[in-house]
Amino acid sequence: MAILELEQVHKSFGTTHVLSDVSLSVEPGELVAIVGFSGAGKSTLMALLSGLSKPDQGRVLFKGKPVEGPSPERGVVFQNYSLLPWLSAFENVELAVREVFSKDSRNAQRERVARYLEMVGLTYAKERRPAELSGGMRQRVALARALAIEPEVLLMDEPLSALDALTRATLQDEIERIARVSGKTILLVTNDVDEAILLADRIVPLSAGPEATLGAPTPVEIARPRDRRAMNHDPHFRKIRASITDYLLETQRVRRARSAANRRVAAESALPVESPA
Amino acid sequence: MNSFTREKLEKRIGLLVLPLIGGAIVVALWAVASSTVATSLPSPSRTWEASRLYVMEPFEKRGELDQGILRFTWYSLTRVAKGYVIAILLGTPLGFLLGMSNFFRASFDPIVQILRPVSPLAWLPLGFVLFHKPEPAGTFTIAMCSMWPTVLNTALGVRSVPQDYLNVAKVLKLSKLKTLVKVMVPAAMPYMFTGFRLSLGIAWLVIVAAEMLTGAPGVGGFLWQEYNSLIYEHIILCILTIGIVGFVLDRMMGLVEKRLRTG
Ligand SMILES: Nc1ncnc2c1ncn2[C@@H]1O[C@H](COP(=O)(O)OP(=O)(O)OP(=O)(O)O)[C@@H](O)[C@H]1O
Ligand SMILES: [Mg+2]
């Protein structure tokens, strides 16, 4: 049975129809990557899945039941990190751990926080406040915070986008390892098709907005562990990359053509009928 | 020495010297005015002569209304502290309610806006009516006047808590109380402190009026008494004292506020 489902979901903000007729079904233990252009509605989609916002139409299901609101069962790595600026890196993670593992002893809780900070390579910076961390370090704290509460589903909204190539590669490997070892269900939003292919079992493209919708999922049938460099020459890899990129560019072209046509119609109807002097 | 550090040095000197020059100009104008157009105004030198005893022996107590200037200041400060603490204790929760609940805001914001501009001179008689004694009436007045910046800034701070932080609390399913204590209060703290600082300024502003009307010993009471005894030099001494104390209080709160913002 699917652990997370979207059934014909629509979402608008005022008059902007961001998502239109979005359906998705995620199996337990699956790592699904969602790729799409900036502003298409990826974060909006994540908010629906986490329960932070409600669909205008359609349903969001978690383990077959409608999502009523957010819960630590669905951990979120927010795109803008959302660290609390008055707490150190350690305290930010600790706040989450103390809430979710409230029955553990203080020592066990602290030990858990330390373990996850270690995992993202931030032990040396654990006393620093977010303002004293680089963008990439903040993302890692946010990642540690989401991982440390051991959610059943991890919703990650571009968790690696602010990182340099090296750190990014390290954390990609880390995410891959967590996915493999823990068997967690992971939804990963990214704007990097290569990253999606490297990590995902399945890639779902989100068409260009407004009224974005999910395209056909593409399974990634490349054996794990996947080797970044070798993959570049894999014909399957190239085929996936080409098909997803083409799909996205095509939806963008269609959208542009349509909005240009709309503008033309609007402009023509607004123009006064008058011959030039 | 390179030009950059020299520029810095000159700026430093400027920061010290320019205020002195400004002060000197004002004293000079005062001296000129007191000998020409405003002859009833005590001159700077006469003011100093008359005030010397009060300044040089600032903690001396010679009589109920004849005490060193810092002793009077101390009386006023303790009186201000009482009213101010009440203002903060009432104003902060009120601000949180206004900031958190739209229902509460719609119901009470108009009342806050109406009570806010009411002068201390209007609250004091009501204080007498309520408490029958000058001391609590003064405290009441200070609290009623100085509460509003705390209320309004706290409400603003609560309303400007970023949604992102609240989302973190929601995903963790923090209880209402924990969200308040662990997320909203720290996030709103800089705003709250701005309110505290402005409230303290008003509390200090009000003390003079309260003491003048109640005749309580303090800077304001002393000022009024000396006016009635025709010792006008002391009026100026009191004005300067009130100003300097207010400035120092504001600076102190400003330092704490700055640390909260950056730290
Ligand atoms: N709270 C909101 N109110 C109004 N419009 C919104 C709101 N949130 C998102 N939008 C609009 O919805 C669209 C999708 O936004 P969203 O943040 O989901 O994009 P995204 O795909 O995550 O982009 P990016 O890759 O840049 O993060 C945008 O046009 C945005 O302006
Ligand atoms: Mg986004």
B19 pLDDT exceeds 90? no
A86 and B189 within 8 Å at the Cβ level: the answer is yes
B45-58 mean pLDDT: 79
Q: Please give the angle made by the CA atoms of B188, B243 and B36, to the nearest 5 degrees.
A: 145
Q: What is the ipTM of this complex?
A: 0.85
A71 and B171 within 8 Å at the Cβ level: the answer is yes
For position B233, what pLDDT does the model report?
84
Closest-CA residue, ligand 1 atom 26, reads A38
Read off the pLDDT of residues B202-227 as tens digits, 9 standing for 90 and up. 999 998 888 888 888 888 888 888 88
Maximum distance among all Cα pairs of chain A, rounded to whole angstroms: 84
The 3-state DSSP composition of chain A as helix, strand, coil percent (nearest 5) reads: 45, 20, 35
Q: Which residues of A touch B (CB under 8 A)?
A: 50, 52, 69-72, 74-76, 78, 80, 82, 84, 86, 95-96, 99-100, 149
B3 pLDDT exceeds 70? no
A52 and B167 within 8 Å at the Cβ level: the answer is yes
> Ligand 1 centre and the CA of A43: distance in Å?
6
B216-241 mean pLDDT: 86
Atom of ligand 1 nearest to the CA of A206: 21
For position B17, what pLDDT does the model report?
85
H helix runs in A7-41, sequence order? none
* Cβ-proximal residues to A187 (8 Å cutoff; 6+ apart), any chain: A4, A26, A32, A33, A34, A46, A49, A153, A154, A155, A156
pLDDT confidence bin for B4, thresholds 50/70/90:
low
A69 and B182 within 8 Å at the Cβ level: the answer is no
Read off the pLDDT of residues A13-53 as tens digits, 9 standing for 90 and up. 988 888 888 899 999 989 999 998 888 889 999 999 999 99
For position A277, what pLDDT does the model report?
43
> Parallel, antiparallel, or unpaired for β A4-13 and A16-26?
antiparallel
> Ligand 2 centre and the CA of A18: distance in Å?
12
Atom of ligand 1 nearest to the CA of A45: 18
- The rounded radius of gyration (Å) of the Cα atoms in chain B is 23
DSSP-derived secondary structure letter, A124: G
> Ligand 2 centre and the CA of A42: distance in Å?
5
For position A272, what pLDDT does the model report?
57
> Parallel, antiparallel, or unpaired for β B61-63 and A202-206?
unpaired
Taking contacts as CB-CB distances below 8 angstroms, the residues of chain A near B192 are none
Chosen from B166, B171, B181 to mutate, greatest number of chain A CBs within 10 A: B171
Taking contacts as CB-CB distances below 8 angstroms, the residues of chain B near A144 are none
Closest-CA residue, ligand 1 atom 7, reads A13
Q: Decide if A160 contacts A77 (C-beta within 8 A).
A: no
Query: Ligand 1 site: residues with CB under 6 angstroms?
Result: A 13, 16, 18, 36, 38-44, 79, 191, 209
Distance of CA B120 to the CA centre of its chain: 14
Q: Which structure tokens are listed for B100?
A: 């958190």
Asked, as a colleague might, if the bond just before B58 is cis with ω within 30 of 0, I would say: no
Q: Which of B164, B171, B263 lies closest to A70 in CB terms?
A: B171
Q: Which structure tokens are listed for A70?
A: 């957010």
Taking contacts as CB-CB distances below 8 angstroms, the residues of chain A near B185 are none
Chains A, B: CB contacts within 8 A come to 45
Read off the pLDDT of residues B137-196 as tens digits, 9 standing for 90 and up. 989 999 999 999 999 999 999 999 999 999 999 999 999 999 999 999 999 998 999 999
For position A253, what pLDDT does the model report?
87
A229-254 mean pLDDT: 85
φ, ψ dihedrals at A7, nearest 5°: -115, 110
Spell out a b/e string for A164-185, using b for 16 or more CB atoms within 10 Å of the CB, else e. eeebbeebbebbbebbeeeebb
Q: A142: which strand partners?
A: none
SS (H, E, C) B73-120: HHHHHHHHHHHHHHHHHHHHHHHHHHHHCHHHHHHHHHHHHHHCCCCH
Taking contacts as CB-CB distances below 8 angstroms, the residues of chain A near B164 are 78, 80, 82
> Ligand 2 centre and the CA of A78: distance in Å?
9
Closest-CA residue, ligand 1 atom 3, reads A13
Residue of B nearest to A98 (CA): B172
Q: Decide if A39 contacts A62 (C-beta within 8 A).
A: no
CA dist list (Å): A173 to A170, A177, A218: 5, 6, 21
Q: Output the CA torsion sign for B171, B172, B176, B177.
A: negative
A96 and B178 within 8 Å at the Cβ level: the answer is no
pLDDT confidence bin for A271, thresholds 50/70/90:
low
Read off the pLDDT of residues A125-150 as tens digits, 9 standing for 90 and up. 999 999 999 888 898 899 899 989 98
Residue of B nearest to A155 (CA): B171
For position A276, what pLDDT does the model report?
46
B187 and A96 within 8 Å at the Cβ level: the answer is no
Coil, helix or strand at residue B246: helix
What's the whole-number average pLDDT of chain A? Answer: 87
On the 0-12 / 13-18 / 19+ scale of CB atoms within 10 A, B39 is exposed
Q: Which structure tokens are listed for A4?
A: 């997370």
Q: What is this structure's pTM?
A: 0.82
> Cα distance from A150 to chain B (closest Cα, Å)?
12
In angstroms, the CA B155 to CA B169 distance is 20
A80 and B168 within 8 Å at the Cβ level: the answer is no
Is the CATH number 1.10.443.10 carried by domain B69-262?
Answer: no
A212-232 mean pLDDT: 82
Q: Which structure tokens are listed for B214?
A: 């109640």
For position B201, what pLDDT does the model report?
93
Best mutation site among A43, A189, A248 for ligand 1, i.e. most ligand atoms within 8 A of its Cβ? A43
Asked, as a colleague might, if the bond just before B136 is cis with ω within 30 of 0, I would say: no
Chosen from A54, A62, A74, A84 to mutate, greatest number of chain B CBs within 10 A: A84
On the 0-12 / 13-18 / 19+ scale of CB atoms within 10 A, B72 is buried
Q: Decide if A223 contacts A51 (C-beta within 8 A).
A: no
Taking contacts as CB-CB distances below 8 angstroms, the residues of chain B near A84 are 165, 168, 183, 186-187
φ, ψ dihedrals at B63, nearest 5°: -170, 175
Residue (of B29, B162, B37, B159) closest to B96 by Cα position = B159
A100 and B172 within 8 Å at the Cβ level: the answer is yes
Q: Decide if A195 contacts A156 (C-beta within 8 A).
A: no
Q: Decide if B71 contacts B59 (C-beta within 8 A).
A: yes
H helix runs in B132-174, sequence order? 134-159, 163-171
Say which ligand is closest to the CA of A44.
1
In angstroms, the CA B120 to CA B131 distance is 16
Q: Please give the angle made by the CA atoms of A70, A109 and A139, to the nearest 5 degrees.
A: 55
Q: Decide if A232 contacts A39 (C-beta within 8 A).
A: no
User: Helix (H) and strand (E) counts for chain A?
Assistant: 8, 10
